[in-house]
Amino acid sequence: MQRRRTGRRTVLIAAASALGMTATLAGCGGSAGSGDVTLRLVAADYGDSKANSSQKYWDKLVKAYEADHPGTKVEVSVYPWTDVDREVKEMVARGDAPDMAQIGAYADYADKGELYKAEEVLSIPVQADFVAQLTDAGKMNRVQYGMPFAASTRLLFYNKKLFSAAGLGAPTTWSELAADAQALKARGVKIPYALPLGPEEAQAETMQWLLSGGDGYTDDVGTYSLDSAQNVATLTWLKDDLVGKGLTGPVAPAKLNRADAFAAFARGEVGMLNGHPTLMKMAADKGVKFGMVPMPGVSGKTRATMGVADWMMAFKKNGHRDQIGTFLDYVYSEKNVLAFSHEYDLLPVTTSASEAMAADSDDADLTPFLNELPSSQLYPVGKTSWAAVSADIKQQIGKAVSPDGSPAGILGSLQQTATTRDSAG
């Protein structure tokens, strides 16, 4: 979810950029003049420099909005991903909540009754326009509080040169993936399949594999099911058929982070790995010819790919419900959703913008990712326990596929902890 276009050319974006665009915040929703209202929005930065900071996107949008809505001012403060969630948490804790926040999670605030419901601020057409999977992920106890703002999916990337040299085609099943990896290893490929289960983003790689094995982190009613028979079988297959046969390279999966795996693919050292749109630019810049296909399942295409979304939320603290709603309706207009998606090569979160992107030949590079969105499954972000459970997975899951690891044991331990955290609320 971290690329950008200049014109129609793509430029790599670092999700957790070092940039800190910290515009000064006004007091609690203060007034811009008699009868005027000032809305405060805290947003995450999808850029990696001042030149491509999300501040520029918001400044342009706000300027156009204020010109058509006299009496409402909007102040936007943009923070890097490394800081934005903490900044909002601290603002809320000291009683200085912004009117809106565009960050990584909403559940804690919704659970404490601090957010407006989506239906309380958005018009019916705008709320109904969200992609269904994203709407569902934004719900807590069947009520939508999180409004999706940006989305991405994952595909299996493969190195066309390495595959061609080995006479291989893109895999469609696990057995084909393992056979391809074995053939690549025989030809001296350093990392036939990159399996990043290191602490950076192990929860993502794990979820993609669990989905391809027919299950996931939760069951159909939203209860954690980490130690299901299907999940145990999935990690056992990874341990025995990929890691155990030396098909995942010289670095143990528990110590391999996603960023390092992507960099290795861009150097031509990796045969296959799961990736999101960022990897396209990285690989192309290094001259790596690659293909992208849906993640293989046990015996065919997996039932769902992993989706990722970032969230907009509206706080009750300052009582500006009507003004917030009017502004967010504008933010989620087709034109603005497409503008943001094009700027950072993300997937639109609305059906209308998704259809427009699918019909635009200039967006052909994102089409494979867009096609996966309707069947995607997102993290269980509606659970207040998810942040802690995700951290547990990052720290523990790599051990499950180590030579002396126990998939059943690790998943069982994670399930027990997840259940405890969930019960604690």
pLDDT of the residue at 2: 38
pLDDT band at 172 (very low <50, low <70, confident <90, very high): very high
Give pLDDT tens digits for 54-103: 999 999 999 999 999 999 999 999 999 889 999 999 999 999 999 999 99
Say which amino acid occupies 275. Answer: G
pLDDT of the residue at 14: 35
When the pLDDT of each residue in the chain is averaged and rounded to a whole number, the result is 90
Residue, of 424 and 12, whose pLDDT is higher: 424
In DSSP terms, which residues pair with 97 in a beta bridge? none
Q: Radius of gyration of the chain from Cα atoms? A: 22
Winning range, highest mean pLDDT, from 13-27, 224-238, 273-287: 224-238
Residue, of 303 and 30, whose pLDDT is higher: 303
Mean pLDDT throughout 190-210?
A: 96
Q: What is the pTM of this model?
A: 0.83
Which three-class secondary structure string do you get for 248-283?
CCCCCHHHCCHHHHHHHHHCCCEEEEEECCHHHHHH
Mean pLDDT throughout 335-352?
A: 93
Mean pLDDT throughout 368-397?
A: 93
pLDDT at 31 over 70: no
Domains and CATH numbers, the chain: 3-152+307-378 (3.40.190.10), 155-304+385-424 (3.40.190.10)
Winning range, highest mean pLDDT, from 16-30, 161-175, 299-313: 161-175
Mean pLDDT throughout 247-275?
A: 96
- Per 3-state DSSP, the chain is made up of helix, strand and coil in percentages (nearest 5) of 45, 20, 35
pLDDT of the residue at 63: 97
Token pair 């909005």 is at which residue?
Answer: 65
Give pLDDT tens digits for 217-243: 999 888 999 999 999 999 999 999 999
Residues 346 and 152: beta-carbon distance below 8 Å:
yes
Give pLDDT tens digits for 125-162: 999 999 999 999 999 999 999 999 999 999 999 999 99
Residues 137 and 147: beta-carbon distance below 8 Å:
no
pLDDT at 209 over 90: yes
Token pair 């050319």 is at which residue?
Answer: 9
